[in-house]
Amino acid sequence: MDILITVAHPDDETIGMGGTIKKLSKNNTITLCVVSDGASAQYDDKKMIKIRQDACKKAGKILGVSKFYFLDFPDMKLDSIPHVEINKSLEKIIKKINPSILYSTPYNDLNKDHSIVFDSCSVISRPLSSKIKKFFCFETGGRCKTQFNPNTYVDISKEFSFKLKAFQQYKSEVNPFPHTRSIKFIESLSYVRGVESGFKNAEAFELIKNFID
């Protein structure tokens, strides 16, 4: 089965669903699409764009990602891009890989890039526009407009060490606790979601659409 994971920035995929990617990659083909360059708003050095992308590829290889697409829209400025332009870029990828399942960043995040990517995924997963049967969003642990309310949990107890190893490839993004991009926070969130679902470590998702033939 072909699965598409669409994120705003490099590292969103690992923080949000790194363990699930590792689990899914055993029996499925995983494609990762990163919509923004992930660095231009944070760093003056343009070399950081390539550094972030290289880190993404290293992390992805650990997790079992087969294909990578980097659209290179400006970081933290997706709200300045016509929505249809982002949609068209994603639709081209949809046509190439024909995924059955789509994952996206959350809609409730205060980070506009995350919510814009979610909106675009909602468009490209419309019935008759693709063969996508399930559409999920994951949580990234940042500040949110509303509480994240998961209805799907994945046991990542066996895959959790791979998630941490993948996240550590993003050396410029690893911060000390209590930052949300810290090892301890990622561990803590996995324990909380595990307690909610009866697993040692878990990742949480919200199932947005489910089309059953």
Residue 104's Cβ-count burial label (10 Å; 0-12, 13-18, 19+) is: buried
Q: 206: phi > 0 → left, psi -120 to 50 → alpha, else beta; which?
A: beta
Q: Which residues contact 86 (CB under 8 A, 6 or more apart)?
A: 35, 71, 73, 78, 116, 117, 120
> Which parts of the chain fold into alpha helices (H)?
12-24, 47-63, 83-97, 112-124, 160-167, 183-197
Instruction: Express each pLDDT in 99-133 by its tens digit.
Output: 999 999 999 989 999 999 999 999 999 998 899 99
Closest CA relative to residue 5, chosen from 118, 84, 162, 116: 118
Q: What is the average per-residue pLDDT within 33-55?
A: 90
Rounded to the nearest 10 degrees, the angle between the axes of helix 47-63 and helix 12-24 is: 30
Identify the structural domains of the chain with CATH numbers, from first to last.
Answer: 2-208 (3.40.50.10320)
Confidence of residue 142 (pLDDT cuts 50, 70, 90): confident
Q: Could you tell me the pTM of the whole model? A: 0.96
- At 165, the amino acid letter reads K
Closest CA relative to residue 205, chosen from 30, 65, 13, 39: 13
The three-state secondary structure class of 70 is strand
CB of 199 within 8 A of CB of 157? yes
Indicate whether 143 pLDDT > 90.
Answer: no
Report the distance separating Cα 94 and Cα 129, nearest Å: 9
Other Cβ atoms less than 10 A from the Cβ of 213: the count is: 3
pLDDT of 41: 84
Confidence of residue 165 (pLDDT cuts 50, 70, 90): very high
